[in-house]
């Protein structure tokens, strides 16, 4: 018997709104994945006055939004939209922050370098009433690590695309880190991961390979 699956509508709160929203729309097609971006905002205060957020199924929230505090953001969103699960989508990879978000009531936490497969799995799991946390959280018993390796044929994440585009513009690692509210170590970690994924010895070789594959 064929099961009719419901379209999952996302509302994204992210100060790099254009980059992340375009990335999600590249990753997910409503007709294929039954996932679509129905609205977005650059911060929580703007989101609270949005009509689109009232129609979404899941709220995607960046952890670090300028001039706003993560725990206060979660509290405001849960008070205003108690029936809408929250999925944190962040460059932060600290288990401590994942624990804080879990305790605050967030349903999932995914790193911005995650593969399309992991992001989709998180969205589907949370839409079905479950939890999804990318890294192990010790003895909480609620973590959902992924065992699927990223393929060289998978599209790049929005953050990976932004890092590479910034490098092509001549920006330094520190400038890119400041742009993404991250740090230089995490930028280099992302590039090392990409070089390994595409068997590139240098970042210049990596960029060449990605251009040849039409990934950037």
Q: Is the pLDDT of residue 92 over 90?
A: no
Residue 40 near residue 14 (C-beta atoms within 8 A)? yes
CATH of the domain at 190: 1.10.10.10
- Give the domain range for residue 181: 158-212
- CA dihedral sign, ordered 118, 55, 42, 81: negative
* Structure confidence by residue, pLDDT tens digits, 101-144: 988 999 999 988 888 888 999 999 999 998 888 654 343 334 44
Give the number of domains in the chain: 2
**Is 152 inside any structural domain?**
no
Asked if pLDDT for residue 165 goes beyond 70, the answer is yes
The yes-or-no verdict on residue 150 having pLDDT over 80 is: no
Domain stops at, among 79, 107, 140: 140
In the chain, pLDDT over 90 holds for what percent of residues?
A: 40
Q: DSSP characters for 47-74?
A: HTT-SGGGG-SEEEE-S--TT--HHHHH
Structure token digits, residue 58: 């899941």
Per-residue model confidence as pLDDT tens digits over 30-84: 999 999 999 999 999 999 999 999 999 999 999 999 899 999 999 999 999 999 9
Co-location of 126 and 162 in the same domain: no
* 193 within some domain: yes
Helices (H), 17-115: 17-27, 30-33, 44-47, 70-80, 95-104
60 in a domain, yes or no? yes
* One domain, residues 20 and 60: yes
């Amino acid at each position: 018997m064929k099961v009719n699956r419901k379209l999952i509508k996302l509302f994204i709160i992210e100060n790099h709104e254009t980059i992340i929203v375009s990335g999600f729309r590249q990753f997910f097609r409503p007709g294929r994945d039954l996932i679509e971006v129905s609205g977005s905002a650059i911060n929580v205060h703007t989101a609270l006055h949005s009509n689109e957020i009232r129609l979404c199924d899941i709220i995607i929230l960046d952890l670090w939004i300028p001039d706003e505090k993560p725990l206060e953001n979660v509290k405001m969103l849960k008070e205003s939209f108690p029936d809408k699960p929250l999925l944190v989508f962040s460059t932060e990879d600290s288990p401590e922050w994942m624990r804080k978000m879990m305790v605050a009531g967030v349903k999932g936490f995914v790193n911005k370098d995650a593969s399309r497969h992991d992001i989709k799995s998180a969205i589907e799991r949370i839409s079905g009433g479950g939890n999804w946390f990318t890294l192990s959280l010790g003895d909480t018993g609620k973590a959902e690590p992924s065992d699927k390796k990223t393929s060289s044929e998978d599209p790049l994440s929005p953050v990976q695309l932004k890092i590479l585009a910034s490098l092509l513009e001549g920006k330094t690692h520190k400038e890119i880190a400041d742009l993404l509210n991250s740090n230089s170590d995490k930028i280099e970690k992302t590039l090392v991961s990409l070089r390994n994924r595409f068997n590139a010895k240098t970042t210049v070789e990596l960029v060449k390979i990605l251009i040849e594959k039409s990934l950037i």
